[in-house]
Amino acid sequence: MSRNKCDSCLMPFKMDTGKRESEEYCSLCYKDGDFVYKGNDMKEFQDICHKEMIEKGMNPGLAHLFTFVTRFAPRWRKK
């Protein structure tokens, strides 16, 4: 089955400008054969993602919405 979103952050793969190493995860979540965020605290992951989106110039409201939906990603539903 072909995936079109990251299983960790739900970012659409078409928005991923990096080089993906995994069929399941974007280049921001998975590098060098491992997760960039190695913890298992979804709230901490959301805070990190939100901060990085704001730093990259994303509208704060959109950044909040995108980080809210990460709780539905397969990586975090398993927790």
Q: Is residue 63 part of a domain?
A: yes
Q: Which positions ≥6 away from 57 have C-beta within 8 Å?
A: none
At 3 the pLDDT is 84
Q: Is residue 7 part of a domain?
A: no
Q: Is residue 68 part of a domain?
A: yes
pLDDT band for 43, please (50, 70, 90 cuts). very high
**Between these two residues, 57 and 2, which has the higher pLDDT value?**
57
Burial grade of 59 (CB within 10 A; 0-12, 13-18, 19 or more): exposed
Q: Is residue 4 part of a domain?
A: no
Q: Judge whether 16 and 27 are in contact, CB under 8 Å.
A: yes
Domain of 20, in residue numbers:
13-77
pLDDT band for 77, please (50, 70, 90 cuts). confident
Supply the pTM of this predicted model.
0.86
**pLDDT tens per residue, range 17-39:** 999 999 999 999 999 999 999 99
pLDDT band for 78, please (50, 70, 90 cuts). low
